[in-house]
Structure 1
Amino acid sequence: MTRLPLLWAVWGAALVSAVRPRTSFLLDTPNRGLVHFSQPNVHNTTTLLLSDDGSTLYVGARNYILSLDVSDPEVITVKKETEWSPSRKDIDSCEKKQKSAEVDCPNFIRVLQPMNSTHLYACGSYAYNPRNALLDIQTLTLTSIPYAKGRCPFNPFERNTAITIDGELFTSTTEDFRGALPSISRHFSRDGGKVVLLESSNYLLDEPTFVSSAFDQKEGKLYFFFSEVLKEFNYLLDYRGARLAQVCKDDVGGQRTLQRKWTSFAKSLLLCQPPKQQPFHQLQDMFTLQPPGGDSSRETLFYGVFSSQWSRGSEASAVCRFKIEDIRKVFSGSYRTFNPDKHHWSTSGTQRNAQGQCGLWNASDVVLEEVKKSFLSRGSVQAAPLLVSTGPPAAAYSRLVATTTLSANQKEYTVLFLLTETGFLHKVVLLDGGPRVIEEVQVFREPQLVKSLLVSPSKGVVYVGLSGGVTVVPLAHCSSYQSCGQCVLAQDPFCSWDPTQGACIRLHTAGVKQDVENGNAAKECAGSSFTPHTVAMPVALNEFLTLPCAPPSDLAALSWTGGGLPLPPNLFLQRPDGSLSFVVQAATLGVYTCTAHEAGYHEVQAVYNVSEKNPPAASVPPRTPTTSTVRERTRAKSLPVDPPGNNGLEGYLLPEGWPAAPTANYGTQEDWSTEPGAVYSTRKGSVVDARVDEQVRSYYTELVGVSLLAALCASVVLLGLLHIWRRRCPAVFPKPQAGPGTETPGNSEDQEKHGILKQEGLAPEVTILA
């Protein structure tokens, strides 16, 4: 293991990231609403505890403890609540220690554990001066008890763990204001004994971050999971890694050496490492999955979320599974010996003597001295990742819970629920061929500092503690799958398709369709077709139309056909969201079908019938009338009205290029109109009459406008030509004569040169300005 830093410094092959979620549901997704509890005084739900019968959820928040009625998964109501906040004096004292009154000094409930059938144990940060109390579960009244030191942290945002076994409280936290004295301790001993702590040595625990704890009933041991600085590789460099520590439940310390200290304390390296690649060594969370029904013949499993100190660009995270047998084995092997004078760990292991054993209360001082120096196992608990996420930093996993369920064929599957920093809860089923991310459900939008997860298989929900309350996420939402194909393709062990009900159901009954391992919908759903209702789309010609089609999952591909044939790409555009866009023309009218393709299964998602909206009886082309057309129109006014039975309108002269007269029978002569403005007579009030009349009026308006514009242009041109001609032909105008009394400066040649032409007696006077 001395080569571990080198492994961390060198990246191996690219990590295989987890399969992306098949479906994604946002907070405002219809038919996927989540149950959420909140009220103005509930903030920072740091701890969650479910009663044994599953009907009451105890919530430890900022300055408050609540009991919520969760007997109905669809509704959350408050049973009792009690305020437990610091006094003004306590907050002032906290502020004097350079802490924020609003952020740091409230009482954050960090421990909430059952003590017996009538009381809970509660411990809070209480303005950076921890307090603890017993809580009556019926009245929610608090009874303060002394000596909270070492039971919960001073810092409300520091990680800690706590677990109660047979009325005894086991905690892992820090014991001082600065958080520099880590401790694993036992309180409330049944025999009235004093607190059992770790030996006061800084090399037993080195800057740990506690994550989780668990109880091994068979061995009578408690396991604590945390991350700390690993000094066995390089004492000068701070390499942080995941650790696992153990103590015996009934350890009372030694008689002379290690009095009231753990004689059974031992720790080991916890490795989540892909083959020949860098390990994920920083532990984020750990969940203990006990055998269903307390089956002693089966192993307890531990599922952990790990991150990497060296992947700052991608912030990858991984999920590893550890077996309790591997943990027992590593603590039964050889141990390293620490030399406190040289601050050095031996590279070779010493044979296990008494390290990690229980019942050393009467061991000799020689044996216990060896235990004090040799508590780090030479081996490590290793596992390969089940799931790896290499997304952006905010997509890394931070918390997880796990549960098991039986499929329709009675095979047991493990389902994980992983919370990301972006607020999505990923649902992952562990299959024989690897993990599958069934779906992701958004549980919050804004980043949250305090988050906690609690799973209740009996209630079929996951409780998520947020800064503003509690959100309930169901383990499965089978009704969101509308067809047999989608129900089977989900590969959700909680859901199966019932042909008799025509629905995807949670309970497995005889004859249901399900294939968790392969999701073979083509086989399971043969003969169970799903055809959506055809949607009529009446539109006008030349209109830009978009036909929506949402994919049933993020893994499905969509294709469009028109009349059963592929669509030419030069006329149709399929957008990234699956919709189809095109310009409506006579050639593009018809039936369009959107089909989803996933894992070899094809299913129609939408059908549209595009038709022309209210086509006109006759159409008039946008044609500007000519002069001859106007003459013909004038002549047409004086012609006699054609009898109503004559559909050809033979008595009328129509402009060249205009449509033929209507062929329908328009009724009697009284229904016909020959008023001025009509090109030919039509039925009074008809659409054709109005359109033709409007066309002719617009043509006259355009003709007048064009004529005025032409006259203006001609005037400008004539003025310009006159000016040019006048400059080139000065002889056309007579030269001025000098009359008596008239004084002309300069000679006549200068006057002609400068174009000064002025003749008295000639009217009017013309001046051309160049």
Structure 2
Amino acid sequence: MECKFLIRERDCRSKFASAQFTAMCCCVLIIFLLPVSEAWKQSKPRLTFSYQDLLMNSSCNPFQGSAESSSFQSILVDEERGKLFVGAKDLIFVLNLENLNKEPKKIYWPAANERVDLCKQTGKKATECANFIRLLHHFNKTHVYTCGTGAFHPVCGYIDLGPPTEDLSLKLDLRSLEPGTLKCPYDPIQPFASALVDEYLYAGTSSDFLGRDTALFRSPIHHLENQYIRTEHNNPLWLSDPKFIGMYPISDTSNEDDDKIYIFLRETALDATSTEKAIYSRVARVCKKDVGGQRSLINKWTTFLKARLICSVPGPEGYQTYFDELQDVFLYNSNDDKLPVIYGVFTSSSSVFSGSAVCAYSMAEIRSVFNGPFTHKESPDRHWVEYQGKIPYPRPGTCPNKAFDSTIQTTKDFSDDVVSFIKNHPMMYKAVYPINKRPIFIQVNVGYRITQIVVDRVTAKDGQYAVLFLGTNVGTVIKALSVTKDNLNAEEVLLEELQVFEASTPVLTMEISSKQKQIYVGSKDSVVQLALQRCGAYGTACSECCLARDPYCAWDGNSCCRYVPAPKRSDAKI
């Protein structure tokens, strides 16, 4: 149910307003006129729904697939066609965004029999020796690029969708498949991230059967040349047992030569202050036009830099409670595509407590750290310190562009000094701290961990909100928002806890459709379509609706329903 909320504050204060109308207005304005008290902090969600509750109120629409399908861990939203592509074991489903169960289609794509047999002979479990679809990307308006594990022999291909104006043709030509090595994991459960940019695939994945060589690769797709770029072999300064979480192309300036790929990961920390093994989260970046270097960095990144991502709770006397292990990231686009907000889900690796936190980062802060000092270590028995020596020109990590000397046209033109420096100093000295230096949402000792996130921008009566939808390892989705109280603090508002799967199973992936106002949640056994709001469940009184503080909802005079902003009046002259 939707409602257009047109009550104005001056209407509420009119001396001619009826008592009933005034009461209704005052309850609406209570959110905006009264300060948020500490007592309003909720340790429990405002609403809790079981799986059966969601089915009964038509808020949840599960898609089970078929008897042989499982492992729904890759999802691609196609807003233009109104379709949802879902990668599973040996199958790709093409579903309707409005109703997942309306005329579903599927592409059967098993691994070759000889590959399955070889996989089993090497000692892998029979359940692992299949083609798990791990990658789905839009290639153009008529094709989707996809890769699967191929029974530990990765393989990639194209789904031909046909012209956008016609019905889907869904052709996957098994005869024109190409090797998926350096593009897709061998292992069906290895953490993995990728981005398809300008017909090149950037992928953080393993390059071998045993998973010992995990690196950041860029590979051409459907090109005849076999040139690829990667991080250094066996150099823990660059990457140390990394787990890739997400990557995005982001323009730093209006100059296309400066375009970069930003990569988010976690890894074993060489720069940890303690002697115990520690996991740190990182943001890394490379220039999109990096073509590798000469001599020591042939076919290797020459612009790779990384910095630590901090998500911690400040305590007394400088003590910090850290959430070190990045689990998922979400790029929240603002009005300026060069200044997105990055939301990250982190978990604690502490043996003292179990917890999860959400931190938000500004691109300005991330860029500032990459423009700052490099870190340095004289010898294995020394501490990491700020590099104080001479930095070669052009600054390592800078993308070649027309502003440089005409002798530097590509990264192959970098001097030996630049190449040597970045090879031995890929890490920044300063860390990236979140907005307001603290998490915007924390859950500690609650019996679950948050592992997935999507964020929706909502226009409410009193402004815009970022609403967090958080998937957990027990099959629930948490709906929450962070309300800024002043320049330093924010209040957490836990709105809903939803059991979206019949069984307690981890959420593997989440995607959001802003157009459909739906979230799509994948698990081992099914995909669930979930509505963003359940306003009618907040109660039948105005005060209950308003005090729920759900930005999707408003009181229309009769019921609590979804708030729809009134259309803006056009100033154009007719």
* Structure 1 pair 216–386 and aligned structure 2 pair: CA distance change class (3 A): same
Note if 1:371 corresponds to 2:422: yes
Note if 1:274 corresponds to 2:306: no
Note if 1:110 corresponds to 2:117: no
Note if 1:198 corresponds to 2:231: yes
Could you list the runs of 5+ residues in structure 1 that have no partner in the other structure? 1-16, 511-770
* Structure 1 pair 191–251 and aligned structure 2 pair: CA distance change class (3 A): farther
TM-score, scaled relative to structure 2: 0.79
How many angstroms apart in 1 are the aligned matches of 2:559 and 2:105? 43
Note if 1:21 corresponds to 2:45: yes
Report if aligned partners of 1:25, 1:440 keep a CA contact under 8 Å in 2.
yes
* Deviation (angstroms), 1:469: 2.0
Paired residue type of 1:349: Y
Note if 1:453 corresponds to 2:510: yes
Report if aligned partners of 1:496, 1:508 keep a CA contact under 8 Å in 2.
no
* Deviation (angstroms), 1:232: 1.9
Partner residue, 1:37: 63
* Deviation (angstroms), 1:42: 2.7
* Deviation (angstroms), 1:346: 4.2
Report if aligned partners of 1:253, 1:262 keep a CA contact under 8 Å in 2.
yes
Aligned match of 1:63 in 73, 90, 95?
A: 90
Report if aligned partners of 2:479, 2:495 keep a CA contact under 8 Å in 1.
yes
How many angstroms apart in 2 are the aligned matches of 1:18 and 1:286? 25
Paired residue type of 2:130: P
Partner residue, 2:109: 84
* Deviation (angstroms), 1:508: 3.6
Could you list the runs of 5+ residues in structure 2 that have no partner in the other structure? 1-40, 162-167, 253-257, 401-410, 486-490, 568-574
How many angstroms apart in 1 are the aligned matches of 2:415 and 2:83? 49
* Deviation (angstroms), 1:347: 2.0
* Deviation (angstroms), 1:421: 2.0
Note if 1:303 corresponds to 2:330: no
Partner residue, 2:432: 381
| 3-state DSSP of counterpart to 1:77 | coil
Partner residue, 1:229: 268
Aligned residues: 483
| 3-state DSSP of counterpart to 1:429 | strand
How many angstroms apart in 2 are the aligned matches of 1:327 and 1:86? 41
Report if aligned partners of 1:287, 1:400 keep a CA contact under 8 Å in 2.
yes
Report if aligned partners of 1:416, 1:428 keep a CA contact under 8 Å in 2.
yes
| 3-state DSSP of counterpart to 2:419 | helix
Aligned match of 2:479 in 427, 430, 433?
A: 427
| 3-state DSSP of counterpart to 1:82 | strand
* Deviation (angstroms), 1:107: 0.8
Report if aligned partners of 1:337, 1:375 keep a CA contact under 8 Å in 2.
no
State how 1:671-710 maps to structure 2 within 5 Å. none
Partner residue, 1:355: 396
| 3-state DSSP of counterpart to 1:269 | strand
How many angstroms apart in 2 are the aligned matches of 1:210 and 1:18? 34
Note if 1:173 corresponds to 2:205: yes
Partner residue, 1:594: none
Paired residue type of 1:370: F
Partner residue, 2:529: 472
Partner residue, 1:650: none
* Structure 1 pair 140–301 and aligned structure 2 pair: CA distance change class (3 A): same
* Structure 1 pair 124–314 and aligned structure 2 pair: CA distance change class (3 A): same
* Deviation (angstroms), 1:342: 4.5
Partner residue, 1:46: 73
Note if 1:321 corresponds to 2:360: yes
* Structure 1 pair 502–380 and aligned structure 2 pair: CA distance change class (3 A): closer
* Deviation (angstroms), 1:18: 7.0
Report if aligned partners of 1:37, 1:469 keep a CA contact under 8 Å in 2.
yes
How many angstroms apart in 2 are the aligned matches of 1:49 and 1:343? 48
Flag as ranges the 4+ runs of structure 1 deviating above 4 A.
189-193, 341-346
* Structure 1 pair 192–95 and aligned structure 2 pair: CA distance change class (3 A): closer
* Structure 1 pair 18–247 and aligned structure 2 pair: CA distance change class (3 A): farther
Deviations along 1:264-311, one digit per CA (max 9) or x if unpaired, are 10011111011132211111111111115xx34x7211111111111x
How many angstroms apart in 2 are the aligned matches of 1:289 and 1:162? 18
Partner residue, 1:401: 454
Partner residue, 2:563: 506
How many angstroms apart in 1 are the aligned matches of 2:43 and 2:294? 56
Partner residue, 1:414: 466
* Structure 1 pair 18–147 and aligned structure 2 pair: CA distance change class (3 A): farther
How many angstroms apart in 2 are the aligned matches of 1:26 and 1:187? 45
Partner residue, 1:742: none
* Deviation (angstroms), 1:31: 2.2
Report if aligned partners of 2:452, 2:507 keep a CA contact under 8 Å in 1.
no
| 3-state DSSP of counterpart to 2:320 | coil
How many angstroms apart in 1 are the aligned matches of 2:516 and 2:267? 36
Report if aligned partners of 2:473, 2:506 keep a CA contact under 8 Å in 1.
no
* Structure 1 pair 235–355 and aligned structure 2 pair: CA distance change class (3 A): farther
Deviations along 1:619-646, one digit per CA (max 9) or x if unpaired, are xxxxxxxxxxxxxxxxxxxxxxxxxxxx
* Structure 1 pair 290–447 and aligned structure 2 pair: CA distance change class (3 A): same
Select the structure of larger CA radius of gyration. Answer: 1
* Deviation (angstroms), 1:497: 0.9
* Deviation (angstroms), 1:386: 1.0
Note if 1:436 corresponds to 2:493: yes
How many angstroms apart in 2 are the aligned matches of 1:52 and 1:375? 39
Partner residue, 1:94: 119
Deviations along 1:390-449, one digit per CA (max 9) or x if unpaired, are 124x4221111111111124x111000011222221111221231201111111243435
Cα RMSD for the two superposed structures: 2.3
State how 1:602-751 maps to structure 2 within 5 Å. none
How many angstroms apart in 1 are the aligned matches of 2:528 and 2:170? 22
Deviations along 1:136-165, one digit per CA (max 9) or x if unpaired, are 123322244333111111111101001112
Moved more, 352-361 or 452-461: 352-361
* Structure 1 pair 493–146 and aligned structure 2 pair: CA distance change class (3 A): same
Report if aligned partners of 1:478, 1:506 keep a CA contact under 8 Å in 2.
no
Partner residue, 2:329: 286
How many angstroms apart in 2 are the aligned matches of 1:447 and 1:25? 14
* Deviation (angstroms), 1:192: 5.4
How many angstroms apart in 1 are the aligned matches of 2:149 and 2:377? 35
| 3-state DSSP of counterpart to 2:230 | coil
TM-score, scaled relative to structure 1: 0.60
* Structure 1 pair 469–322 and aligned structure 2 pair: CA distance change class (3 A): same
Percent identity between matched residues is: 28
| 3-state DSSP of counterpart to 2:385 | coil
